[in-house]
Amino acid sequence: MTSAERRRSYGRAIREQRELRSMTLNDLAGLLSVSRSALSRYEKGEVALPEVLQHSVALIFGVDVDRLFPLGRVDDGLARSA
């Protein structure tokens, strides 16, 4: 799996979990202390989700980080640009 495919997979997982909880982008972005646009870019797979945010997302959703993101860490150098 390419890093782009992995980013999209992670983005889908975040969006699915967020929508299951009837959370808006603004709701989750506020809890993560990121902008709505940054969260949108993570969900679309445009930018890699930083590892620290992977753990925060899992904690917010009450799931194990390895279960939420089973493909390992995504870091293609873009994580710091969000």
What pLDDT is attached to residue 3? 86
SS3 string, 20-34, reads HCCCCHHHHHHHHCC
Q: Which domains does the chain have, with CATH numbers?
A: 3-66 (1.10.260.40)
- For the stretch 18-67, pLDDT in tens is 999 999 999 999 999 999 999 999 999 999 889 899 999 999 999 999 89
- pTM tops 0.85, yes or no: no
Residue 8 or 71, more confident: 8
**3-state helix, strand and coil shares in percent for the chain, rounded to the nearest 5:** 65, 0, 35
* pLDDT above 70: residue 80: no
Name the pLDDT band for 78 (thresholds 50, 70, 90). Answer: very low
Question: Nearest 5°: CA angle at 77, between 24 and 55?
Answer: 45
